[in-house]
Every structure is written in structure tokens, then in C-alpha cells.
Chains A and B, each alone.
Chain A
Amino acid sequence: DQQVKQNSPSLSVQEGRISILNCDYTNSMFDYFLWYKKYPAEGPTFLISISSIKDKNEDGRFTVFLNKSAKHLSLHIVPSQPGDSAVYFCAASAEYSGGGADGLTFGKGTHLIIQP
């Protein structure tokens, strides 16, 4: 049972436009959410995070929105640039994991393609 879901395997956006990547989660214990970017043959690179006590966090061109009631978060990239083409992973963690893993739970990723 996937606790973190990224339902769009790929997304194509024109350069300069807004990219919106979505993520849904099912575990109500999750209280910290992160977005990672991954290029082929490299490890994930941390982009931005948000705590469950907030509904928005912004860092330059990247903004993450959290809707706790809907168990949904999204990553907005404005404006999109060619270098943003990569796989984006949504990840979540719980402060109290109930004896389970303290690791992050990842979605399957969305491949973002920025077209010139």
C-alpha cells in the first residue's frame, strides 16, 4: 500500500511557464514533507520542505503548498527552466513512527520535461 502517491509519471511544460507537481499521502501521522530532484545516475538532491504546521513555503522559484485536510501537497516552479528537467520525488516523514522506520517514505516520482 503506497502511503505517498505521485499519480503523474511525467509532465511536459514549456520553458518560462509554471510547473505544478502533485503529491498525495494517506498516512495522517506524516508531519514533514520534502521534495527532491533527481538527475539520471545521481542521488536525489534536496529542494524544499514544509512542516505540517505551515501551508506554504517558498524558496526562490520553488514554492510548496500543503493542504492537510486533503492530504495533498504540490510543488510549483516559476518560471520553469531547461535545467529543471529531472525526476521529482515527494517524500514524507512522521515525528513519531510508531516503532517503524525512521526513514523517509517516497513517491514513485514525476519526470518533468521542460520544452524550449
Chain B
Amino acid sequence: DTGVSQDPRHKITKRGQNVTFRCDPISEHNRLYWYRQTLGQGPEFLTYFQNEAQLEKSRLLSDRFSAERPKGSFSTLEIQRTEQGDSAMYLCASSQGGRIQETQYFGPGTRLLVL
């Protein structure tokens, strides 16, 4: 299977702890996106990478959130000092960038619950 994969699929943590999620994109895709989805809402854009460069950040991405894509392959999303409001599904997507009107393909998501 060469789809987008995410790890872990579920994470339960206590408020104030740090968490890190990993995303492995489709191998030939150079763009990688992070989204957050809460109950009853559609996915909301957080940030994206073109290769290893982080090119855009949403205003939703507070300074407690940091994302990296060190070698232009997999990416990590870290949330420091988690808050209950961080509880959500965190989705990763990848695409073959450089083309207009590209299609993003999503992974299964990491569901975070902050107690």
C-alpha cells in the first residue's frame, strides 16, 4: 500500500504534556499538508511543506505547534503543553505539487484526546 500513513492512530494525553505525530506521504509527492478536524466541522488547514520547506502556516497554528519535514520525506507535528481544546483529529495529506489544481490525498488521521 503506497498511500499516506500516520502514526499513532490514537493518542490520549494529559493536559500540559507534549505530543508528537508522524506522517509518511505518498513517496513521489513533494507537498505535505497538515489539517485539524473537530467534531461537526470539515478539516481546517494548519500548514504545508514543499519538500523540506514550510511555506505556509494558518493562524490556527499557535506557537505551541511546530511542524518539521527534515529531509523532505516524512513530517512530524508536535504540540507542546497540550490543552483540552487541542482534542481533534489531525490529518495529513500529500500531493504532487508544482501543478496547478493538484489533488491532495489524505492519511487515516491521528485522533488526539487531551484529558
Residues of A whose CB lies within 8 Å of any CB of B are 4, 31-32, 34, 36, 41-46, 49, 51, 89, 91, 93, 95, 100-109
A31, B94: Cα distance in complex, Å = 19
Question: What's the minimum C-beta distance from A2 to chain B, rounded to whole angstroms?
Answer: 9
Residues of B whose CB lies within 8 Å of any CB of A are 4, 6, 33, 35, 40-46, 48, 55-56, 58, 91, 93, 100-101, 103-109, 111
Chain B residues contacting A46 (CB-CB under 8 Å) are 103-106
A116, B81: Cα distance in complex, Å = 48
Q: Which of B43, B55, B107, B109 contacts A104 (CB 8 A)?
A: B43
Whether A51 pairs with B106 at a CB distance below 8 angstroms is no
A105, B60: Cα distance in complex, Å = 13
A49, B108: Cα distance in complex, Å = 20
Q: Which of B42, B104, B108 contacts A42 (CB 8 A)?
A: B108
Question: What's the minimum C-beta distance from A106 to chain B, rounded to whole angstroms?
Answer: 3
Please, which residue of chain A has its CB at the minimum distance from the CB of B60?
A101
Whether B58 pairs with A101 at a CB distance below 8 angstroms is yes
Whether A105 pairs with B45 at a CB distance below 8 angstroms is yes
Chain A residues contacting B56 (CB-CB under 8 Å) are 100-103
- Nearest 4 pairs of A and B residues by beta carbon: A103-B45, A106-B42, A43-B106, A32-B101
Q: Which of A31, A32, A49, A89 contacts B43 (CB 8 A)?
A: A89
Whether A31 pairs with B58 at a CB distance below 8 angstroms is no
A90, B83: Cα distance in complex, Å = 29
A109, B25: Cα distance in complex, Å = 25
Question: What's the minimum C-beta distance from A55 to chain B, rounded to whole angstroms?
Answer: 16
Whether A49 pairs with B58 at a CB distance below 8 angstroms is no
Chain B residues contacting A103 (CB-CB under 8 Å) are 33, 35, 45-46, 48, 56, 58
